[in-house]
Amino acid sequence: MAYRAAVVGVGMTPATSPRKQEFSTAELCRQAVHAALAHCGADPRTLDAVVIGNIDGFEGTVLGGKSLTRQLGIGPDLPVVVLNTGGTTGGNLMQVAARMVRAGTHRRVLCVGGPTFFGAEDLQAAINTNSPMIIEQPLGMGAYHMGAFAASAYQARFGVDATDLAAVAVADHAKALKNPNAHLRYEVTVDDVLAARPLSSPLTQAMVCPVSTSAVAMIVGDPDEHDLATAPALIRAMGTSSDPYLGGGKGDFSQMQNLATLARRVYALADVRAPRREFDVVEVFAPYVHMQPMQLEALQLAEPGEGVALIRSGDRVLAVNPSGGPKCTNAGVAGELAPYAYAALQVMGDAPPELQVEGVRKALAHGTGGTFFQFENLAVFEALDSVSSGSTS
Amino acid sequence: MTSVSTQPVHWDLRYDIHLGTTWSRFMDGLRDRRILANKCPECARVFVPPQAYCESCYVATDEWLELPPEGILEVYTVAWLGFRGGPTPPYAIGGIRLDGASTLLMHWLVGPDFSDPASIGSRLPFGSRVRAVWAAERTGQILDIAHFQPVAD
């Protein structure tokens, strides 16, 4: 028999800069976990496993997933699955928890994502150590240098200019300003973005994400149990996909072929035939401005080269990254779990009121990571009464 | 008085990366000023750097060939801001499709003046032909190619 899995509870802490953060990773995680339990009214004793993200090697302040779990205040004897897939760790937490629930071996699984790499004094130097060793690491690339390849190629192919890229940042900031959990909560203008410090052509400082600190927790359970206070967000379909390891193995930086392939696969599983019309909300992981239009295009939500136009339009039919996205809040593992958390909250009707889109039936969540963003993950959430039972994929 | 919220620590770890036979052969080639690639017997894609298996066809890629040190610069970025221990900016890193290759080889670009952000596109357009410049001393590593430079028309 096939079981269904749904997001039944979400908790997150407000985000802030590393400099202003007074709480440790363990303290932040504990706050997020108890917020998730309170959200759905679940007793910690009803949890039967924890899936926790742990990117070891990125910095000295990371606590092992197992020792961190002991500090969450949710009692003894909980099996712990420690997940470490580098930058995509947060995006894979729910994928693992949902498979545990669907398998029927677990009933209610807690996902925990804390902040990562906020201690590095020079983050780009730290990121350079995880770029492909031997072949590409010696060339001196940090995160945004690697990101800039796609920005350059996309610009050249579709005639996207710096003003278009800046418009994405302007839109993200306007949304994050309304999100009580966002980190960069101020408006910017196109001129501000263009005048910001150049990082790696064509990207300026205002076009890339900050380093944030926060924690996100999520409870995945059986949607057919009715002891909780929330309306579950059914995980209708999900999947992951990988490009070659080397940046140069991608072959074409001007479009996101790997994500397009994954989207076709996940849409088929979820019976999504007209994504542009069917989704009410999409939350994509776009820490750099060029990524958001490219992702929307790969996800069939905009025509090739038309992603910026969709973002500029402030489309009322499809809400794109109402949270403000990782461009304004990126807390490592927590940051990668956030699109899943926000998309699920939208379906549950429990997003922060300032962000909640009215009448959400179907939402898409996306994550990506890897030095050249080789790794993609995706999930489709649906309100339970909009799907017939047993049709999950 | 503000409370004590952080304490500095420092890591300095040294590692040896084990190349495996495929990348060893590639590095041996660079030492001899030769760029070695290999080819998938199923899809005929040519990989540089070479790889032991084709991840699309799931077969071993055991046919070797030498590529010319010249190709098309498909994309590049100019790093204006670097990082501790990295190269001194500005420096340019490109994705180069060597003639006959299916993949891009990432490397440094030297030659044009990259100091003015407004003019970089016109100084070195995407699609330019570039050629590898060999390092005088070669030890079997990617920087045995010192950098690529534009081919004079």
Give percent of chain B with pLDDT exceeding 90: 78
The answer to whether the Cβ–Cβ distance between A139 and B107 falls below 8 Å is: yes
For testing contact with chain A, the best of B61, B78, B83 (most A CBs within 10 A): B83
How does strand B35-39 pair with strand B46-47?
A: antiparallel
For residue range A105-138, list pLDDT tens digits in order: 999 999 999 998 788 888 888 888 777 888 998 9
Here the CATH number for the domain that contains residue A290 is 3.40.47.10
The answer to whether A321 and A293 have CB atoms below 8 angstroms apart is no
Q: Give the residue on A whose Cα is nearest the Cα of B46.
A: A249
A200 chain-B contacts, CB cut-off 8 A: 77-81
* Number of domains chain A is built from: 1
Backbone angles phi, psi at A150, to 5 degrees: -65, -40
Q: What is the mean pLDDT of residues B104-113?
A: 95
A133 chain-B contacts, CB cut-off 8 A: 17
Determine the residue type at A98. A
Beta-ladder partners of A240? A377
For residue range B21-55, list pLDDT tens digits in order: 999 999 999 999 999 999 999 999 999 999 999 98
Nearest residue to A377 (alpha-carbon basis) of A244, A266, A220, A249: A266
Q: CB of B67 within 8 Å of any CB in chain A?
A: no
Of residues A76 and A262, more confidently modeled: A262
Q: What is the ipTM of this complex?
A: 0.92
B138: its two tokens: 């070669």
Sign of CA dihedral A124, A127, A128, A131: negative
The answer to whether the Cβ–Cβ distance between A145 and B104 falls below 8 Å is: no
B107 chain-A contacts, CB cut-off 8 A: 139
Domain holding A366, by residue range, is 6-120+210-386
The domain spans of chain B are 20-150
What integer pLDDT is reported at residue B89 of this predicted model? 94
Cis geometry, peptide bond prior to residue B90 (ω within 30 degrees of 0):
yes
Average pLDDT of chain A is: 93
What integer pLDDT is reported at residue A58 of this predicted model? 61
A14, part of any domain:
yes
Q: Give the residue on A whose Cα is nearest the Cα of B94.
A: A149
B25: its two tokens: 């052969």
A291, part of any domain:
yes
The answer to whether the Cβ–Cβ distance between A152 and B76 falls below 8 Å is: yes
For residue range A233-252, list pLDDT tens digits in order: 999 999 999 998 898 888 89
For residue range A77-106, list pLDDT tens digits in order: 899 999 998 889 999 999 999 999 999 999
| Chain A contacts to B (CB-CB under 8 A) | 21-22, 60, 119, 121-122, 124-125, 128, 133-136, 138-142, 145, 148-149, 151-153, 156, 197-201, 244, 246-251, 253-254
What integer pLDDT is reported at residue A61 of this predicted model? 63
For residue range A50-68, list pLDDT tens digits in order: 999 988 766 566 677 888 8
A73, part of any domain:
yes
* Number of other CB atoms surrounding residue A2 within 10 Å: 10
The answer to whether residue A392 scores a pLDDT higher than 50 is no
What integer pLDDT is reported at residue A63 of this predicted model? 74
Q: CB of B79 within 8 Å of any CB in chain A?
A: yes
What integer pLDDT is reported at residue B96 of this predicted model? 98
* Number of other CB atoms surrounding residue A350 within 10 Å: 18
The answer to whether residue A281 scores a pLDDT higher than 50 is yes
A282, part of any domain:
yes
For testing contact with chain B, the best of A19, A27, A152, A154 (most B CBs within 10 A): A152
Residue length, chain A?
A: 393
Q: CB of B102 within 8 Å of any CB in chain A?
A: yes
What integer pLDDT is reported at residue A65 of this predicted model? 82
Q: Which of B104, B117, B142 sits opposite A201 (nearest CB)?
A: B117
A141, part of any domain:
no
Give A359→chain B minimum CA distance, Å. 42
A201, part of any domain:
no
A329: its two tokens: 């809040």
What integer pLDDT is reported at residue B67 of this predicted model? 98
